[in-house]
Amino acid sequence: MSARQDDGQAKCSSSVATKELAVPKQGDYDRYMRRRPKNPEDDEEATPRSIYDPDPVEEEDLWFLPQPPEDVAPGEMPWPVAAREAGLDGRTWQAAETAQYRVLVAAAEAVARYGERLRHAAPGVSERLALMTVSALLRAEGIWLGPDQIALYRAFRLGSDDMARDLSRADWAVRRLLTGPLPQDDMRAFLGRVSVSEPHRDEERPTGPELDLAGQDWAGSLLETCHLLTRAAQGFAAWRRLALTSYDQMLEPSVAALLLGAGDEAPYLPMAEGHRFDRHQVAQGSDASTARLATFLNAIEAGALRAAMELDRLSAWRNRAIDLTAGLSGRTPPLLIAALLRYPVLSAELAAEAIGCSRPSARRNLTLFHEMGLIREVTGQERYRFWAALV
C-alpha cells in the first residue's frame, strides 16, 4: 500500500470518529424535545394499550352522569340548584283572604278595640307599646333585648359594644313606629339609607338606584283590592322575596308590615312575645299565601289583644295613682306617673331625664311611690335599681 492510500484511510477513519463523538447542537436538541411527549403515559404511541384495557367510551354513552335539561337558558347554571321560592301573585292572596275570612274578621276586631283604647290612653303610652313591640320583633331574630335596654339606649346611648348594632336597629324601629315615614311613600327615607360611593357598597342589600327600583317594585306589588291586614301580610312576603334586607333580618319587614296594616285605626300594630310572621310551612301556589296570611293574622290578633289588655291595666293604674298622689304638692308626682306609663321599666336616671328634675328628687319620689304600693323594684339590688308600675 502506498503512502497516499494510507493517508486517505487515516483521514476517513478520523472523520468518522469525529462525527460519532460530536456534541449535538442546540437546534437539534430543541427539535428533539418538541418531538418527545411531555408525559409518556398520556401518549398512546409511547404507551401501547394493554389487552386488558377497556375500549374508550364516548361522552354521550356515560349514562351515570346527569343530563342537562333540554330547555336550559344560556345564563343558567349547568348544575342543579336549590329551588327558590316563587313570587305569589295577587290572585293567590285574594283566594287566601277568602279562605281565611274568619281569622281576618277576628284580627280586624282586635285591632279596632286596640285602636279605640289607644286613642283614649294617656300620652306616652304609645311609646311603651312600641318598646315592647320592637323587643318582641328582635326576639324573632334571636336577639334578646328588653324594653328597658332599648329605652336606656334611646335616652343615654347606654349599651355594651357587642350590642351596639342591635340597639341602634331597635332605636330605628321605635322611631319608625312612632313617627314614620311609611315605607310605601319613600323606601330610602324609611330605611334611613343615604347614597354611598361604590367602594363602600353593601353587597348583601340593594343600595342607590337599585334600592329605589326595589322600593318601587315593592310598593307597586301591594294589592289595593284586599283588606289592609292582607296587604300587610303580602307586603311582608314581597319584602323578603325582593331581598330589600337580608333574609335573616326580621325587624325591617316586620316594622313595614305593622305600619302598613295599621291604616287609620292606630299609628302601628302591636306585636306580642312568642309570635312571628314567618312561622309556617312553605308550600306552593295558593297554599303558601294561605299559610302566610293565617300566621300573620294570628300574630296580629294576639298582639292587639295583648296591647288592649295592657292599656286597660295602665288606665286603671293611672286612675289609682292620681287618687293616691292627690295630696302631694309639686309638679314631680304627676310627671312621674306619666313617665311610668311611658316606659315599662324606669330607673332614677331615666326618670330624671323624662321629668326634667334632679336625680335625688327622682329617687325620693320613686321611694314614695313604692311606699304607696304604686310601683315595684324589679332588680332586687341596692344600687342601679329599676322600677315598674304595679299594674
Residue ending a domain, among 309, 337, 369, is: 309
How many C-beta atoms surround the C-beta of residue 171 within 10 A? Answer: 17
Residue 82 corresponds to which cell in the numbers above? 336549590
Burial class (CB in 10 A: 0-12, 13-18, 19+), 267: middle
Number of domains in the chain: 2
Average pLDDT over residues 55-72: 62
Tell me, yes or no, whether 75 lies in a domain: no
pLDDT of 126 strictly over 50: yes
pLDDT, tens only, 268-296: 999 998 888 876 444 444 577 888 899 99
Instruction: Confirm if 231 and 255 have CB atoms less than 8 A apart.
Output: no
The yes-or-no verdict on residue 155 having pLDDT over 50 is yes
Residue 270 lies in a domain: yes
Statement to judge: residues 249 and 220 lie in one domain: yes
Q: What pTM was estimated for this model as a whole?
A: 0.74
Residue 19 lies in a domain: no
Which of 17-26, 54-63, 292-301, 338-347 has the least mean pLDDT?
17-26
Show the cell assigned to 299.
300574630
pLDDT winner (highest mean) among 76-90, 177-191, 295-309, 369-383: 295-309
What CATH number is attached to the domain comprising 344? 1.10.10.10
For residues 128 and 277, membership in a common domain is answered with yes
Please check whether residues 146 and 236 belong to one and the same domain: yes
Give the cell for residue 363: 329617687
Residue that is last in its domain, among 280, 309, 338: 309
In percent, the amount of the chain with pLDDT more than 90 equals: 50
Kindly state whether residues 284 and 153 are assigned to the same domain: yes
Residues 209 and 332 in one domain: no
For residue 289, what are the domain limits? 90-309
User: Rounded to whole angstroms, how far apart are CA atoms 99 and 102?
Assistant: 8
Q: Is 376 a member of any domain?
A: yes
pLDDT tier, 83 (very low <50, low <70, confident <90, very high otherwise): very low
Amino acid code (one letter) for 133: T
d(CA 41, CA 51): 16
Question: Domain end: 309, 333, 350, which one?
Answer: 309
The mean per-residue pLDDT over the stretch 182-193 comes to 89
Taking the mean position of all CA atoms in its chain, how far away is CA 227? 26
